[in-house]
Chains A and B, each alone.
Chain A
């Protein structure tokens, strides 16, 4: 059953939203979402890689021999990740300082490889683009949402991505729950959000 382009795009936003529905690519999800800004930065970097890798893999899908497809995907993905890393260092160094270690890890983010293998290798260029963009935006939204929960509860502040830092919960009545910005808080936050999403009945 062929899906329309819009369906390919929107499935990434709710029905197959990573990391909640697919529960893939958890390393950056847990690692960088201490603030909204980091989450959005990581999400955008991953989206770029996802879209470019999907595009290239789909363009080359008739050329790449099936036996070495994974190796080819990794070469393509690693190239774009390194590009992102260099460009981020050159033009968004403060963000690179925060995300540093996690950028090279986009290579092994199974969402990117998963989309190349499961979708782009079997579908045309336009639907692969729509798929990559949808999944990427879904991933960015998830990271931003988890980042927002952790940042607000953990520090009482909210950083508008690439903008001002707001203090929402002031120190006179709210003691920051620093547990939320540490690693175990990420697991618990992710688990609770997954639970809430599953409470919403799916069709």
Chain B
């Protein structure tokens, strides 16, 4: 009996101590982790698609969040000709090697895409990873209206897939399509937040 109590007490204390320690560390590192993620995961993509924006240097800070159900999406504001007229946000789909994230920048006035870039992917190096490393696939979206479903040419759409990386190409297309849905659902809120940013 005494042994039993001792086992329970030791494990409970150990687990409580570990849990407490991790909670403290997690809280302490959370802001740093978020800024690192922005800098290394989304940052390079955003800066390449907003290359001509006026606020290129501060674009990572010009952001707001919209919570929709369980998901929280970060929106980055692009300023063109002194006016905040574009937002970029991330959407994802399942690729060949896991989740694939796509950053989509859209012009708020015309609903046309300014640029698309792959942010995170676990695709096969040298095959699916070309969707991220080479611009051919993503560049096809530039200038197209976002509010429509996209598909690859093999499925009757307009987007030419990367040969040898069909699954990855379809994932990029699916992610852009889901970005369109997010944009459609949240547009009133986006406009409101961007308006607040301008004012």
Chain A residues in contact with chain B, CB under 8 A? 60, 63-65, 67-68, 71-72, 75-76, 78-79, 82-83, 86-87, 89-91, 93-94, 97, 178
User: Which residues on B sit within 8 Å (CB–CB) of A60?
Assistant: 14
Chain A residue with minimal CB distance to B36? A93
User: Which residues on B sit within 8 Å (CB–CB) of A91?
Assistant: 32, 36
A64–B3 alpha-carbon span in the complex (Å): 11
User: Which residues on B sit within 8 Å (CB–CB) of A71?
Assistant: 11
User: Which residues on B sit within 8 Å (CB–CB) of A83?
Assistant: 21-22, 25
User: By the criterion CB–CB under 8 Å, are A90 and B33 in contact?
Assistant: yes
Contact A86:B25 (CB < 8 A) given known A75-B15, A76-B18, A94-B40: yes
User: By the criterion CB–CB under 8 Å, are B39 and A93 in contact?
Assistant: yes
User: By the criterion CB–CB under 8 Å, are A93 and B40 in contact?
Assistant: yes
B48-71 vs A, CB cutoff 8 Å, 1 = contact: the mask equals 000000000000000000000000
Chain B residue with minimal CB distance to A182? B125
Q: Which residues of B (15-29) have their CB < 8 Å from a CB of A?
A: 15, 18, 21-22, 25-26, 29
A68–B25 alpha-carbon span in the complex (Å): 27
Name A76's contact: one of B14, B26, B40 (CB within 8 Å). Answer: B14
Contact A89:B33 (CB < 8 A) given known A65-B3, A68-B7: yes
User: By the criterion CB–CB under 8 Å, are A93 and B10 in contact?
Assistant: no
Name B11's contact: one of A75, A82, A178 (CB within 8 Å). Answer: A75
Interface of B is mostly: helix
User: Which residues on A sit within 8 Å (CB–CB) of B22?
Assistant: 79, 82-83, 86
B62-106 vs A, CB cutoff 8 Å, 1 = contact: the mask equals 000000000000000000000000000000000000000000000
Chain B residue with minimal CB distance to A79? B18
Give the number of residue pairs across the A-B interface with Cβ within 8 Å. 56
Chain A residue with minimal CB distance to B21? A79
A94–B36 alpha-carbon span in the complex (Å): 9
Name B14's contact: one of A67, A72, A87 (CB within 8 Å). Answer: A72
User: By the criterion CB–CB under 8 Å, are B32 and A90 in contact?
Assistant: yes
A88–B136 alpha-carbon span in the complex (Å): 33
User: By the criterion CB–CB under 8 Å, are B10 and A65 in contact?
Assistant: yes
Chain A residue with minimal CB distance to B8? A68
Contact A72:B10 (CB < 8 A) given known A87-B29, A93-B39: yes
Complex A-B, nearest 8 residue pairs according to Cβ-Cβ distance, in ascending order: A93-B36, A79-B18, A90-B29, A90-B32, A89-B33, A93-B40, A65-B7, A68-B7
List 19 additional contacts besides A86-B26, A90-B29; criterion CB under 8 Å: A63-B10, A64-B10, A65-B7, A67-B3, A71-B11, A75-B11, A75-B14, A76-B18, A78-B18, A79-B18, A83-B22, A86-B25, A86-B33, A87-B25, A90-B33, A91-B36, A93-B36, A93-B40, A97-B41
User: Which residues on A sit within 8 Å (CB–CB) of B41?
Assistant: 97
Asked whether B37 is an interface residue with its Cβ less than 8 Å from the other chain, the reply is yes
Contact A68:B36 (CB < 8 A) given known A79-B21, A82-B22, A89-B29: no
User: By the criterion CB–CB under 8 Å, are B6 and A65 in contact?
Assistant: yes
User: Which residues on B sit within 8 Å (CB–CB) of A90?
Assistant: 29, 32-33, 36
- 8 inter-chain pairs at a CB distance below 8 angstroms, sorted by A residue, are A67-B3, A75-B11, A76-B14, A83-B22, A87-B29, A89-B29, A93-B36, A97-B40
User: Which residues on B sit within 8 Å (CB–CB) of A97?
Assistant: 40-41
